[in-house]
Amino acid sequence: MTRAAVDQAPESVVAIAAAVRTGAISAVAVARRALARIAALDPPVNAVTRTLAARALAEAAAVDARIGAGRDPGPLAGVPYGVKDLFDVAGQPTTAGAGMRRDAPPAAADAEAIRRLAAAGAVLVATLNMDEYAYGFATDNAAWGLTRNPHDRTRLSGGSSGGSAAAVAAGMLPFSLGSDTNGSIRVPASLCGLYGLKPTHGALPMAGVFPFVASFDDIGPFATSLDDLAMVHGVLAGEATPPAAMPAVALLGGWFVADIVPDLAAALAAIGEALGGIPTVELPQVAAARSAAFLMTAAEGGARHLPELRRRALAFDPATRDRLIAGAALPAAAWFDAQRFREGFRARCLDLLAAHPVLIAPATGCPAPMIADPVVQLDGRPSPARASLGRYTQPISFVGLPALSVPLRRAGRLPIGVQLIAAPGREAQLYAVARRLEGLGLVGFGPPPQVSGT
């Protein structure tokens, strides 16, 4: 693989699949190039925990063989991708980002999402870094290290799917899969300047995905374009998302704009003006919703890991262990109280969405925090980024709503994204609004500086 081939601008999902299907390039050549790009681009970023060269080349050869035999190779023919290291990959331990699981028994079969992608012709190339057990927004991992933001390697990539976002933003892979419990797709998508989808809760297959909080866990893709994201989403969902007319839209105010940086406030105002002067609305009791989401996350996560905490607590990442122990100590009554509150809050969200089918809000309130000073400002005071970057995403996943993070166009500035929020099952409306914003020149991916040359 020549240096020129490695340095070539990353190709899109749609372009790679079309080139492979028509024989313009072989799937094996695409897989080799992806492996070479990871080798060249990953060391300063640290997004990849494991490359799967033998598997990737075998899957790619199978795609080429299907094409050679005149059979349909699938809509994602030869497209390389990676998965957050909590998806089961046959023959590999599913670490969920935990050093204590390095020697876990290998998975007997692929996760259902990987199986669907393979059936569509996609080629799995790598597993990707994450916060231990998906508990955090930093992708700062005691066992696999910290994943750096490709746009500025002195800054966080976000988490817990930070490796999935950084690998795509850096141009190693055209798409990846992550998981989102409280914002773990939308936060790194915002900080790395990508499109990232958290679907309606339960809409995409969770079989073979290491669980964190069953009440909120979902999987979803990262990509550099809406077309790419929609293609992958369609394969995962089992059907393409149908086009939708542009729905009525509103900006979320109050809690959702209280702590945002000034240029994000200006960008939201510009969106409102470009869409014809849309209204600003508020959700009641958002702070209580975020607190309830924190409580349920801690309680379910702590209960899940309690046997291992009792057996070998010191094997956990210290940044994760204390939070899980605290969650395990919560009384069951607190979880039931939070669940009851969730039902009422969901009803209020749905009432608002009945009047304004898509809501626009920040995905994060600021660009990526510095690694040396990992804090965000909340109520005028510094707060740890690892726990606080989900301020605007947590209340949305708390009630299972679909949300699409889209990157604002910010030439020469660090990325930041806004999330588009709809009622359950209304992902098509999210795409409609995102395409409108894209057509207005307000959102879109901007590649980072060349990460391998500095």
Tens digit of pLDDT for each residue in 85-120?
999 999 999 999 999 999 999 999 999 999 999 999
Is the CATH number of domain 249-439 3.90.1300.10?
Answer: yes
What is the percent of the chain with per-residue pLDDT over 70, rounded to a whole number? Answer: 97
Is 164 assigned a catalytic role? no
Where b means 16+ CB within 10 Å and e means fewer, 355-387 reads ebbbbbbbbbbbbbbebeebebeeeeeeebbbb
Strand partners, 252: 281
Question: Are 240 and 234 spatial neighbours (Cβ–Cβ below 8 Å)?
Answer: yes
Average pLDDT over residues 283-302: 97
Average pLDDT over residues 52-71: 98
Question: Are 44 and 153 spatial neighbours (Cβ–Cβ below 8 Å)?
Answer: yes
User: 450: pLDDT confidence band, cut at 50, 70 and 90?
Assistant: low
Of the CA atoms within 13 Å of residue 144, those in its CB half-sphere come to: 31
Question: Are 182 and 297 spatial neighbours (Cβ–Cβ below 8 Å)?
Answer: yes
| Intervals of CATH 3.90.1300.10 along the chain | 3-237, 249-439
Catalytic residue among 160, 190, 215, 405: 160
Q: What's the token pair of residue 374?
A: 């990992």
What is the percent of the chain with per-residue pLDDT over 90, rounded to a whole number? Answer: 94
User: Is the predicted pLDDT of residue 70 greater than 80, yes or no?
Assistant: yes
Is the CATH number of domain 3-237 3.40.120.10?
Answer: no
User: Is the predicted pLDDT of residue 323 greater than 60, yes or no?
Assistant: yes
CA–CA separation, 127 and 135 (whole Å): 18
pLDDT (0 to 100) of residue 168: 98
Residue 51, amino acid:
T
**Alpha helices (H) along 261-409:** 262-274, 286-312, 318-328, 332-355, 385-388, 394-397
Residue 240 neighbours by CB distance under 10 Å: 13
Average pLDDT over residues 250-265: 96
pLDDT (0 to 100) of residue 380: 86
Task: Write out pLDDT tens, residues 221-247.
Answer: 999 999 999 999 999 999 999 999 999
Residue 170, amino acid:
A
pLDDT (0 to 100) of residue 379: 85
Strand partners, 377: 382
Average pLDDT over residues 167-189: 98
Is 160 assigned a catalytic role? yes
Catalytic residue among 12, 26, 84, 215: 84
Average pLDDT over residues 210-223: 98
* Dihedral sign, Cα of residue 240, residue 354, residue 424, residue 439: positive
Q: What's the token pair of residue 344?
A: 């009422």
Q: Which helix (H) or strand (E) holds 444?
A: none
User: 454: pLDDT confidence band, cut at 50, 70 and 90?
Assistant: very low
CA–CA separation, 422 and 392 (whole Å): 15
The conformational region for residue 133 under phi > 0 = left, psi -120 to 50 = alpha, else beta, is left
Task: Write out pLDDT tens, residues 331-365.
Answer: 999 999 999 999 999 999 999 999 999 999 999 99
User: Is the predicted pLDDT of residue 449 greater than 90, yes or no?
Assistant: no
Q: How many Å is the Cα radius of gyration of the chain?
A: 21
Tokens 């349909």 belong to 72
Residue 346 neighbours by CB distance under 10 Å: 16
Is 198 assigned a catalytic role? no
pLDDT (0 to 100) of residue 444: 97
Task: Write out pLDDT tens, residues 391-432.
Answer: 999 999 999 999 999 999 998 899 999 999 999 999 999 999
Catalytic residue among 12, 176, 179, 184: 184
Tokens 């033998």 belong to 54
Tokens 């994450």 belong to 130
